[in-house]
Structures are given as structure tokens and as C-alpha cells.
Amino acid sequence: MKDMNVDIIFEVFNQGDDIIYRNAGLEHVMDGDVILLNTAVRGIENYWKLDEIFTNKQGERYEDIRMQVKVKYFNKMYGYLKKVGVRKLEPFFDTVGDLGYGTVENSLKEYLDHFIEVEEYEKCVIIHKLLNIVKKLYYPEMELV
């Protein structure tokens, strides 16, 4: 049986939102913090759908490369997160308004947990800042660490 290739699996996501917008002549859209944050937050749901599809269809063959796929995918989504500006609150209000507080909070926590697991702590700092902004918007009395 032929080995599964992480790069081939990941091709499903290589045409990310940035490429789609660029092909449509709208590359400036991906410079917007709301789009960047929305893309990353929705990316968690997309990842788990991909994971479920490949688990069901490929079983053990996918199991051998599952973590590689996750690392590659989460790194791609981190690229969007690190571009989100933290000086304006609009992206956070808009994203939470579009997707819901729980969705945004849980997605950011999931990215944070992943990068802690793979010991990429410099990425955790940025994600933690974004998570704290979201929490502070909706729970202003909350003490943040």
C-alpha cells in the first residue's frame, strides 16, 4: 500500500483564503484584521473536519502522519493570527459577533494548547494576547494572567 504524503494531504488547504482573494483581485481584504481572525477561528472547525475525513477513510495510514498534518495546518493558521493587530478592538467585536464568544475563545485556546504541546512558546505569547483581549471585552471585571 502506498504511503500517505503530508504535503499531498495539505494541498486541500494550500489554496487558502489569501490565494482565493488574490486571484479575485481582492488581496487587500486579507490585510483586514477581521478577516484574518475569522479565518483562523474558523480554521479549527475545518481542521477537525479534515481530521475526521482522513481518519475514517485512511485509518492507520493517516494515524502515522496525523501529527504532521496538524502541525502544518496549525502553523498555517498561526500565520493569520500573528498578523491580527491588537491595537484596535473592532476585529474582536466583529469576529465574536459573527462567530460567538465561545467559538472564538475555544478556537484560540485550542491553538494555545497545540503550541504548548509542541513547545512553540513564542507563538503562545501572541495567541495568549489575543485570547486575553477577547476575554477582557466580554468579562471586563476578569483578572487576566
The pLDDT score that the predictor gives to residue 1 is 45
Where in the sequence is the domain holding 30, given as residue range(s)? 6-138
Question: Among all chains, which residue has been given the C-alpha cell 485570547?
Answer: 131
Q: What is the number of structural domains in the chain?
A: 1
Does the reported pTM lie above 0.85? no
Residue 41 included in any domain = yes
pLDDT band per the 50, 70, 90 thresholds, residue 28: very low
Q: Which residue, 77, 27, 80, 19, is CA-closest to 48?
A: 77
Identify whether 75 is part of a domain.
yes
The answer as to whether 144 is a domain residue is no
In a domain, 17, yes or no: yes
Assess whether pLDDT exceeds 70 at residue 33. Answer: yes
Domain presence at residue 129 = yes
The answer, yes or no, to whether residue 136 has pLDDT greater than 50, is yes
Does some domain include residue 1? Answer: no
Positive or negative, the CA dihedral 83, 89, 94, 97 is: positive
